[in-house]
Structure 1
Amino acid sequence: MTLSLPIAAEANELLRRDPLALLVGMVLDQQVSMEKAFAGPYELARRLGHEPDAAELAGYDPEALVALFAERPALHRFPKSMAGRVQEVCRTLVERYDGDPGRLWAEAEDGAALLGRLTGLPGFGRQKAQIFLALLGKRFEVRPPGWREAAGAYGEEGAYYSVADVTDEASLLKVREYKQRTKAAARSAAAG
């Protein structure tokens, strides 16, 4: 079973076949809807006129990259900071993995090592790294030993906590309901 978001079929296909697109989608998955975040890599490729690799984005003129992100409709509600974050992640990929995002997970000997590699990326705190690890395991069959444990609750079978659990419209609704309950509980705790 693979990731299937309610976005353009071409955008879903890019996520399925291009590890960089999947990683960039995860970078953008912050303070925007999942659909907006994961459609972003396809829209970026469309604006560039081709599918970029990590080396291209790492070396791209920062102001020109911001302009691509800010072009209406903007790729993210914070185009400047997210263009910078994508570029930082791509630079890290070039420096540590010869620009090959697939090496992040292909060379990890176990789930804990993969989690460590992911938290080593700019902007990937533990929660984001665990969600991405769960996404890799559940939807892309990247399953080094201990991957579920390293992914924490996000790795649980039958959970509906994150993008890792989205396979159709019904599962997307379950994930949204979970997120709404979590936010409500956090607001209640803060108020009280």
Structure 2
Amino acid sequence: MATTVHLAQRPEADELLGRSPLAALTGMLLDQQIPMEWAFSGPHTIAQRLGADDLDAHEIASYDPERFAAVLSEKPAVHRYPGSMAKRVQQLCQHLVEHYDGDAEAIWRGVDSGREVFKRLNDLPGFGKQKAQIFLALLGKQFGVRPEGWREAAGDYGEDGSHRSVADVTGPESLGKVREFKQEMKAAAKAAKAAKTAK
């Protein structure tokens, strides 16, 4: 699955994301309430602190929860909420061990329906409809994982040429466009809320 991505905007972190399905999934999980680059650098930081060059679902799933939280909390912290995110990363890995023998790529490998891949992603702890759609779009647009109907299953995020999410980030310029889109969406939501309140 090795591919070149620019999600962390740090070569060593991006290299890991490009070759490790679990790292990519973990980055997606961490991508909330913090800048995208910080979130997608997280898997590399975790691997380094565990003394490894990749993440291992079996190892993380069985790690002592307090010690794992300490791994994520160590300065600089992996996330703004390292304790709760440590719990989520472990839950994700436990799910992978239970359902996919710890093999993250098994979620989509050999699956010929975009809808089925979406369903499997949506079932992951810490994921939901939006995260599952964005990750499916990322798989299709940047990892060459394109089961039938993947664009439809990814919703608006699957649209060709869009700049809506991490799935569309291929470098600093596209990152800027995605940021602009998100700011516009926030502003629109704020205006809609204000209009509703004014009624």
What SS does structure 2 have at the residue aligned with 1:137?
helix
* Fraction of identical pairs, as percent: 59
Q: Please report the TM-score for the alignment, with normalisation by the length of structure 1.
A: 0.97
- Whether 2:19 is the aligned partner of 1:17: answer yes
What SS does structure 1 have at the residue aligned with 2:32?
coil
Question: 114, 119, 125: which is aligned to 1:116?
Answer: 119
**What is the CA distance between 1:2 and its match in structure 2?**
4.1
CA separation of 1:111/1:185 partners in 2, compared to 1, >3 Å: closer, same or farther? same
- Whether 2:78 is the aligned partner of 1:96: answer no
How is 1:1-192 mapped onto 2 (pairs within 5 angstroms)?
Answer: 2-5=4-7, 7-50=9-52, 51-192=54-195
**What is the CA distance between 1:109 and its match in structure 2?**
2.6
Structure 1 stretches lacking a partner, 5+ long: none
Letter in 1 for 2:163: Y
Moved over 3 A (4+): none
Contact 1:6/1:168 (<8 A) preserved: no
Structure 2 stretches lacking a partner, 5+ long: none
Q: Please report the TM-score for the alignment, with normalisation by the length of structure 2.
A: 0.94
CA–CA distance in 2 between the matches of 1:124 and 1:5? Answer: 18
The size of the alignment, in residue pairs, is 192
Query: What do residues 91-132 of structure 1 show as CA deviations (whole Å, max 9, x unaligned)?
Result: 000000000000001142300000000010011110000000
CA separation of 1:164/1:18 partners in 2, compared to 1, >3 Å: closer, same or farther? same
Contact 2:8/2:38 (<8 A) preserved: no
